[in-house]
Amino acid sequence: MARIAEDLLLLLLDNASARPALDESRRQRLLSAAVLLDLAHTCRIRPSAPGESAPPGRLVVLMGHGPEDVVLAPAVRVLSRKPTSPAEAIAKLRRRVEPQLLEHLARSGYVTRIRLYTKGFRRQDAWMLTDRGRPAAVRASMMSALLDGQPPDPPTAAIISLLHTVDGLSALLSLDDRGWEWVNGRAAEIASGSWVNESIGRLPEVNLAVTTAAIRPALV
């Protein structure tokens, strides 16, 4: 399940316009990076390390059962061809990820497609949330981590890290100057990987944090 990417897109759709927040370019790159982080959290990819055959910083596919998810499986196939830099991986995935996610969320009953007509009778698709429960829960987890200082769960930490990197939190939150100062500082702290409990050291969480650090520069 592409939970990080799905939750992120549902958050971006949770508005009155029935269209995702953020401009198309940032949104495509953001969702592609979220898919990569979903793969990292399931330990299907990781950044290469010094001394390996792949150049440092490339994303390499790890052995394991192929994901059956309609979004993650195509991404693994693309990345399996050769070790790929985060920027190259995002470029290869960016145009296909959002349509795949929207179709999957529609089949799962989270969104429904509606037709809009602009001047000249040009048709455009929009996507209405059919149930706001899931994005509301994600938003509540974000607010708890950003405003209350609670440790975020891994998907929430990944979403905050990605949005902070592309200056996307402002599309979802409305705060005064003091609130933004606090939230930006807290988001930067989370993006640095401070949310990982090193005493427990669970491999999926550590791999997610390490991969997030490798991917974030490609979004700037």
What one-character-per-residue DSSP string does 133-184 give? HHHHHHHHHHHHHHHS-PPPPHHHHHHHHHHHHTT-GGGT----HHHHHHHH
Question: For the segment 122-172, what is each residue's pLDDT rounded down to a tens digit?
Answer: 667 789 999 899 999 999 999 999 999 999 999 999 999 999 999 999 999
Q: Which bin fits 136, alpha (ψ -120 to 50), beta or left (φ > 0)?
A: alpha
Query: Which three-class secondary structure string do you get for 18-33?
Result: CCCCCCHHHHHHHHHH
The mean pLDDT value for 41-67 works out to: 87
Query: Where is average pLDDT lowest: 16-25, 33-42, 180-189, 208-217?
Result: 16-25
Domain containing 17: what range? 3-219
Of the pLDDT bands very low, low, confident and very high (cuts 50, 70, 90), residue 66 is: low
CATH number at residue 147: 1.10.3630.10
Q: How many domains does the chain have?
A: 1
> Beta strand 59-61 with 111-117: parallel, antiparallel or unpaired?
unpaired
Q: Residue 198 above 70 pLDDT?
A: no
The mean pLDDT value for 196-209 works out to: 84
